[in-house]
Amino acid sequence: MEYFITFTNQSQGRDRIFRAAQYGSALLVYLLKNKSGRQKLIKKLQSLESNMSTGRKLFRLGNTVSSINAAKCTMHLEDPVLRLCLTVANLNRSLYFLCDNILWARSIGLVTDMDKEKWSVWASRCYFVSLLMNLTRDLYGIYRAMEREAQDKQYRQKVSQHCSDSRDVACMAVLNFQAFLLLLYHSLRHNPSVLLDTAKNVCDLFIPMDRLCIFKTNPGVVGLCGLMSSILGILALVKPSFKLKP
């Protein structure tokens, strides 16, 4: 119960719950749309999805400033790859929140003279770039984890056992590929935060790609990916050791 109270007291925790409900509703609407006698339930789910989306936009009103502050911090990281990826990701994330705030103002009538579709596309573009930079950071994290794992004596012993007494080129190629997979497996196993963040960002990537027509799917796939990434985000908040740093 204490974990639940602590989690729901966080603004990010409430946003993750609202997000899971939003995309879960979208997924159910897609699954039930061809079912007869489900029209009332579908309308309720559509209303829930809309309310969750509006609520999340309200929660994110201050996130533009938070993302700019995060970008200021990441500009001082020693690692040049992390510095570039995280700074660009945070700056684009701040622009995404700015567009999102304007769309929220448009939805409640505070702003009327604006092109909603144009701002929505710009928001998706900024979100897409931010996710790409975060995924680049994830891949760099995996590469660094594999470097550390390759220096481990136990791993080198396992590889040497597989590759000893083999001179056939094709066999060596297979063994090298197996060694790579073994290295990747152990690297991700010992760094669950990198694995979790990579999976979350991959799921999220389908949302702006569908919106920008880069990779068209359907509302069901978007709902499923959004729900999965929300659950992974909740897991990272509930268990801080699963949160990737920096």
What is the per-residue pLDDT across 74-102, written as a single tens digit (0 to 9) for each?
A: 999 999 999 999 999 999 999 999 999 89
Q: Which residue has the tokens 């201050």?
A: 62
The predicted structure's pLDDT at residue 211: 94
Query: What is the rounded average pLDDT of the residues 7-11?
Result: 57
> Residue 55 above 60 pLDDT?
yes
The predicted structure's pLDDT at residue 173: 64
CA dihedral 231, 236, 242, 244 (to 10 degrees): 110
The predicted structure's pLDDT at residue 77: 95
What does the H/E/C string look like for the chain?
A: CHHHHHHHCCHHHHHHHHHHHHHHHHHHHHHHCCCCCCHHHHHHHHHHHHHHHHHHHHHHHHHHHHHHHHHHHHCCCCCHHHHHHHHHHHHHHHHHHHHHHHHHHHHCCCCCCCCHHHHHHHHHHHHHHHHHHHHHHHHHHHHHHHHHHHCCHHHHHHHHHHHCCCCCHHHHHHHHHHHHHHHHHHHHHHCHHHHHHHHHHHHHHHHHHHHCCCCCCCHHHHHHHHHHHHHHHHHHHHCHHHCCCC
The predicted structure's pLDDT at residue 153: 57
pLDDT tens track for 107-126:
888 877 888 899 999 999 99
Instruction: Residue 57: name the closest of 22, 89, 103 by CA.
Output: 103
Residue 185 tokens, joined? 């497996």
Q: Which residue has the tokens 């400033």?
A: 65
Residue 71 tokens, joined? 């970008």
pLDDT band at 58 (very low <50, low <70, confident <90, very high): confident
The predicted structure's pLDDT at residue 79: 95
> Residue 224 above 90 pLDDT?
yes
From CA 3, how far away is CA 155, in angstroms rounded?
37
Q: Which helix (H) or strand (E) holds 82?
A: helix 80-107
At 133, the amino acid letter reads M
The predicted structure's pLDDT at residue 191: 92
In the predicted model, what is the mean pLDDT of the chain?
Answer: 86
> Residue 160 above 70 pLDDT?
no
From CA 29, how far away is CA 220, in angstroms rounded?
8
